[in-house]
Structure 1
Amino acid sequence: MQHVGWRGELQKLIDRHAGVRMNGNVASFRTRELTAKTLFAVFNTLHLLGYRLQNPANLGARHVDALVKHWYAEGRAVSTMQNELSMLRKFGTWIGKKGFVGRLADYLPDVPAMQLRRTAVASISKSWTENGVNVDAKLAQADALDERFGMMLRIELAFGLRRREILLLKPWKSDHGDTLTIYPNTGSKTGRPRIIALKNDYQRTMLDYVKARMPKGQAMAWRTTRRGMPAGLKYCQKEYSRRMKEIGITAAQSNVTGHGLRAEFAENAAMTDPVRPFIPATLGGTADQLSLEDLHLARSQVSEMLGHSRTAITNSYYGSFARWRSAPGSQTSEARA
């Protein structure tokens, strides 16, 4: 389909520039695809915020300022915001405005510098419970707002799914009794499937609760918009974020985001493992609570449940024991009830 208006102008800029890296080398197809996806998302967001730029080359400092404040309010990760600012810096060179995009801290002067530091290692818990959010109360609030949204939160809490994975999940199809299957290309970052073992009664209860309210062939995503029109995946992703904001779950409102339920799952999975339970570093756990071999094995199993093949990825959910190692003989904290 041919793009018209600002979309057509943006596509022309992408076609002209995105195939070449900053150093002059040819960019990969994946890089060009990611550039286009990010830039179209940026300008779509600006239009939703009321900045209806008909010519993308008119992008200015005030637009970037509005974007960053919007990203922060909806709880976007620091690394994601920095990546998108980097993309906009590159875009600035395309339109003859090199240097007009500042640092993340320039747009968020009231946010402590430590909170804007890019790191893949969590130093404090990102879970709702550890940040003072009553999960049961929020589930009830979500139910009252929209029953399907309440079901989504239960699945995220019970199985640690990402937003896209929740929306595309077909509970009846994925339930295999003692496991939940995430099928290929149903929302995972890698596109690969994974099998999550049901290790506690809560998972079974939540899955049965959702299935009792879902037609057998349906995915979790909303079927229609608030206006009664057919709902696509993009709409559902935005609706999920809107609903989170309505129940007070954003970084600005409660210091947590929807992704915090995934962190909650990771912490709970670590502490309730029937074979090798351990306390995450963000909750006070230390490296000496298990043998090095058992700790690595336990962390790798949690990582696989989250859909990651590398154990180090779990550092972003519950910290690194290398940074939290205590003196020999120290006691670990009690697991939360």
Structure 2
Amino acid sequence: MDDLTYDLQQLCRRNRDGSHATQDDRKRSLKLAAQQLREAGFRQMRATSFKGKHVEALLARWQREGLAVGTIKNRLAHLRWWAEKIDKAGLLPKDNTQLGIADRRYVTNINKAVELGPELSRITDPHVRMSLQLQAAFGLRREEAIKFRPGYADRGDHIVLKGSWTKGGRERSIPITTPEQRIVLQAAHQLAGAGSLIPAHKNYVQQRNVYDGQCKSAGISHMHGLRHQYAQARYRTLTGWQAPAAGGPSGNALTPAERVQDTEARQVISRELGHERTQVTAVYLGR
């Protein structure tokens, strides 16, 4: 193992920011960056010797390879993390457009919502089945639904997600607004008891692999679409009309009063989904 790869591994071990999935992605991304810098001729680097020329070399390679903008932005986020941990936070600009990377546009009226149907009966692992039902009922991410501990989360009129379950490590709450959500929670209590939806003899990564394998065998894919369905159902409840992605009116067709409702609904949904920016709701709701 070269010095740079070793240094970056140690940096990741000492700084466990974010969820397990975020940490795993960061480790893989930084390991790849170290390899690509070595291939670019930077042979005797240490983590602390990171400079602008290294960013430029990596970015140029990624653009030559034709990587998707989203992939490049994710890799740049990991480079920013690296720079921050060695006290060089100003090494990369916060705005990707200064690096020639266009901002991703969160505008789409293509409906990506999915609902759980008969295929759920083909899921043989009860913990995976329960995780999928929680995703549908509360718009949870996969990791959140796998790590879910009903004894901790259930607060009567809302659920609370621990920061260690969520993307970015931010705790959040989601209201319980329907009888169906309460039914799903009661089933989760019965299955998990005081524990989580990870069986006692497994760790998170093992159960995530079971989840992925079960979904693949059952012919279920794009389970992120359950979050889209949750967001669109909440939008309909909060506004009284369908979201644009579900066939409702676009923002241009709304009256001034309706636009206020639309904005307020998107703010609520953004918080419930665990996003910081309301613009991201356009992915789920359209515009």
Deviations 1:58-77 (A, max 9, x none): xxxxxxxxxxxxxxxxxxxx
Asked whether the 8 Å contact 1:157–1:264 carries over to 2, the reply is yes
Query: C-alpha separation between the residues in 1 aligned to 2:153 and 2:118?
Result: 28
The answer on 1:122 being equivalent to 2:108 is yes
What residue number does 2:154 align with?
175
What residue number does 2:244 align with?
281
Amino acid at match of 1:311: T
What residue number does 1:92 align with?
36
Deviation at 1:93, TM superposition (A): 2.8
- CA 1:16–1:173: 2 relative to 1, 3 Å: closer
For 1:164-243, list aligned pairs within 5 A: 164-183=143-162, 185-215=163-193, 217-224=194-201, 231-243=202-214
Say which of 125, 131, 138 aligns to 1:146: 125
Secondary structure of 1:195's partner?
strand
Deviation at 1:159, TM superposition (A): 0.5
Equivalent pairs counted in the alignment come to: 223
Amino acid at match of 2:276: S
Asked whether the 8 Å contact 1:122–1:316 carries over to 2, the reply is yes
**Structure 2: which 5+ runs fail to align?**
42-56, 69-102
The answer on 1:13 being equivalent to 2:9 is no
Query: C-alpha separation between the residues in 2 aligned to 1:137 and 1:89?
Result: 43
- CA 1:258–1:223: 2 relative to 1, 3 Å: farther
Asked whether the 8 Å contact 1:164–1:186 carries over to 2, the reply is no
* Larger helix proportion of the pair: 2
Deviations 1:32-82 (A, max 9, x none): xx99844754xxxxxxxxxxxxxxxxxxxxxxxxxxxxxxxxxxxxxxxxx
Deviations 1:119-155 (A, max 9, x none): 43333122124xxxxx22122222xx21111111111
- Which one has more relative contact order, counting CA pairs under 8 Å at least 6 apart? 2
Deviations 1:210-264 (A, max 9, x none): 222222x10112333xxxxxx22222223222222122123xxxxxx12111111
What residue number does 1:103 align with?
66
Say which of 300, 305, 308 aligns to 2:272: 305
Secondary structure of 1:221's partner?
coil
Asked whether the 8 Å contact 2:8–2:31 carries over to 1, the reply is no
With the length of structure 2 as denominator, give the TM-score of the two structures: 0.66
Identity of aligned residues (%): 25
Cα RMSD of the aligned pairs, angstroms, is 3.3
- CA 1:240–1:15: 2 relative to 1, 3 Å: same
Asked whether the 8 Å contact 2:5–2:31 carries over to 1, the reply is no
Secondary structure of 1:196's partner?
strand
With the length of structure 1 as denominator, give the TM-score of the two structures: 0.57
**Structure 1: which 5+ runs fail to align?**
1-8, 20-27, 42-83, 106-116, 130-134, 225-230, 251-256, 322-337
Asked whether the 8 Å contact 1:156–1:162 carries over to 2, the reply is yes
Secondary structure of 1:279's partner?
coil
